[in-house]
Amino acid sequence: MNIKTYIIDAFTQEAFKGNPAGVCLLETELTPTVMQSIATEMNHSETAFLLPSTEMEGEFKIRFFTPTTEIAFCGHATLASAKLVLEKLNYNNATFVTGHNLRLEVSQEHDGRILMHFPMYAPVAKEPIPEVYAALGITEEDCVGTFYADPLAMLIVQVKSQKTLLGLKPDYQSLIHDAPFLKGLAVTSPSEDEAYDFSSRCFWPWVGINEDPVTGSAHSALAPFWAFILGKTELRAYQASTRGGSMDLSLMPAKNQVEVRSHAQIVLEGVLFL
């Protein structure tokens, strides 16, 4: 079996920035074991597997795998998959149906950005968790608050400054040990760059990703979080990893969705032989 396979950098206009995702365009179903083996071989934070629907034009089944496990929803692999479908397959819009029946609509905008509709998850306040702060290398005095976003199983820690955010040196084994109820952790602060409303860094060692370069799914919760703080529904976000990446966010409360706009770059196209 030959599988068309791509590496696509998401949330960037520049190759080798943003977050790379593997994307495999399938002709037939693969078993979860085979998809997991491919994702482990690709060794990106996520690899997406796309299977065109036989019933509806422009609809694709999509599944997401980290190097160690399948996950329900991945933003940057959705953007990478959208780049492939819109540019290489010449669709103007498409719908991805996840393994958990989440429908993700994507379309091409005139300025070259891709528009995606993500679910919106409102985080709720939690009591301080000193063990998590210690594993991040900060103290409770560095924090504004701690919040939880379900169903992402993601903790949000708001810190007072971007300097604190950039200085984080997480102990990943301690995070896994001290907070086994989590799948992800987003640390966020106001941005010192006037071009952005807020910055973040995201850590997912529970699913095999220490620091994720740019995490689209986290912004399903970070968008309403910062919209409430700043009193605005249009936001620009920057994820301050080594590679870095950005996105524009628009809240749609009536639909319980977040519109996410950004770019992606195809950097490799090839064939996977099975």
Q: Which of 14, 27, 29, 46 is catalytic?
A: 46
Q: Is 46 a catalytic residue?
A: yes
Distance CA 186, CA 243 (A): 16
Cis amide prior to 151 (ω within 30 degrees): yes
DSSP structure string for 39-97: HHHH-SS-EEEEEE-SSSTTEEEEEEE-SS-EES--HHHHHHHHHIIIIIS--SEEEEE
What one-character DSSP code corresponds to residue 101? -
Tokens 């019933």 locate to: 55
Cβ distance 202 to 211 under 8 Å? yes
Please compute, for residue 20, the number of CA atoms within 13 A of its CA located in the half-sphere on the CB side.
17
Active-site residue set:
46
